[in-house]
Structure formats: structure tokens, C-alpha cells
Amino acid sequence: MIIIEETEEDKNRAALPDEDSFEDEELTTEEAKYRSAKDLRDSLECVERYEQGVRTLLDAAALFDEIDDYEDSARLAEECRKKAKDYEKKGMEKAYQQAVKLCREAVTKMDYRTAITELERFPQYKDSGQRIEACKKEIVRLETKAAWKNRIIALVVIAVMALCIWGVFSLLL
């Protein structure tokens, strides 16, 4: 038989309640919406693109509006709308700067297409339209350069073949 003695540390440790001992608390519809709206508002860390963050904040504001007479919902709805405007402004500028960087560092047609896709998220912002056109011109330039390269290779191959054929015929004659 093994005897386990309880140490002083074990006695002072708080017992953790069993998960099953919690009962689901009954929430009113307003409280459930209020908590959902707060969770939605606080979930911005999970958002990668600023458009999604704006949509999340506006959705939270709409939920708060549904229960505007509950606690501080009206104030929180207004805060969410204000935060959505700020989030959009900052997010758009950050995304624009990243797209401009993509344009500047683009080397291949795929790089330019990626930059165009990013700039098309906000075509009216600053000089996005002009940058999109510049990227498209670079794609055309790269395609033209590739086409000329292929034509030159084809001409060289034809010239070499013609020389080979001429050489064979001159040996036979």
C-alpha cells in the first residue's frame, strides 16, 4: 500500500472545477447579441485584409444597432463605425504602399499581374489607375521582348539549317 501525503502546496492550490459542473447560463436575446457583437468587434486580430476588417466592424455595428437600447450598445455601434472608417483609411494606405512596392520590384509578367490585382482593390485611390496602366504597359513590353527573342531564335535556326543543307549539297556536287 502506497501512502501519498498531501503537501502544503497541494492544500493551497485551488481546485479547478470540472467542465461538466458548469451549467449553460441562460442569456437573453439582447445579451447574446451584445456578446456576439463585442466578440466580432474584438476579432480584428484574425483579419488579414483591411476590407474584411471594415466589414467585421460594420457587422458588429449592425448587431449593436439591433439592440441599441441595451446597455451601451448605441455608443459601441458608433465606435465601431468610426473605427471602421479609420481602419479602412489606414488599411487602404498600407495596401496601396504594398502594391506600389510590388510594381517597383516587379520583374516578370506574373509580378506585374499580382501588382495589378492588388491595385485593382482600390482603383480610385491616389494614382492607382495610372500605376495599373503602367504595369499593363510593362507586361506588353515583356511580351513583345519575348516575341522578338523567339523570332530571332527561329531565324537563327532557319539560317543554320539553310547552311547545313547548302553544305550537304555542295559536298554532293
Helix (H, G, I), strand (E, B) or coil at 67: coil
pLDDT digits (tens, 9 = 90+) for 84-131: 999 999 999 999 999 999 999 999 999 999 999 999 998 888 999 999
Stated pTM of the model: 0.62
pLDDT at 8 over 70: no
Q: Is 110 left (phi over 0), alpha (psi -120 to 50) or beta?
A: alpha
Cα-Cα-Cα-Cα dihedral sign, residues 10, 11, 14, 15: positive
pLDDT for the residue numbered 13: 53
pLDDT category at 14 given cuts 50, 70, 90 is very low
Mean pLDDT for the chain overall: 85
What residues contact 114, with CB distance under 8 A and at least 6 apart?
102, 106
Least confident of 45-49, 114-118, 144-148: 45-49
pLDDT at 137 over 80: yes
Select from 126, 59, 118 the least CA-distant residue to 87.
59
Q: Is 126 left (phi over 0), alpha (psi -120 to 50) or beta?
A: left
Q: Which range in 16-20, 27-31, 81-85 is most confidently predicted, on average pLDDT?
A: 81-85
| Stretch 162-167: mean pLDDT | 90
Rounded distance between C-alpha atoms, residue 133 and residue 119, angstroms: 10
pLDDT digits (tens, 9 = 90+) for 68-83: 888 888 999 999 999 9
The alpha-helical segments, DSSP class H, found in the chain are: 8-12, 29-41, 50-66, 73-105, 109-119, 128-172
Are 79 and 63 in contact by the 8 Å Cβ rule? The answer is no
pLDDT category at 28 given cuts 50, 70, 90 is confident
Rounded distance between C-alpha atoms, residue 20 and residue 27, angstroms: 19
Q: Which range in 32-36, 38-42, 55-59 is most confidently predicted, on average pLDDT?
A: 55-59
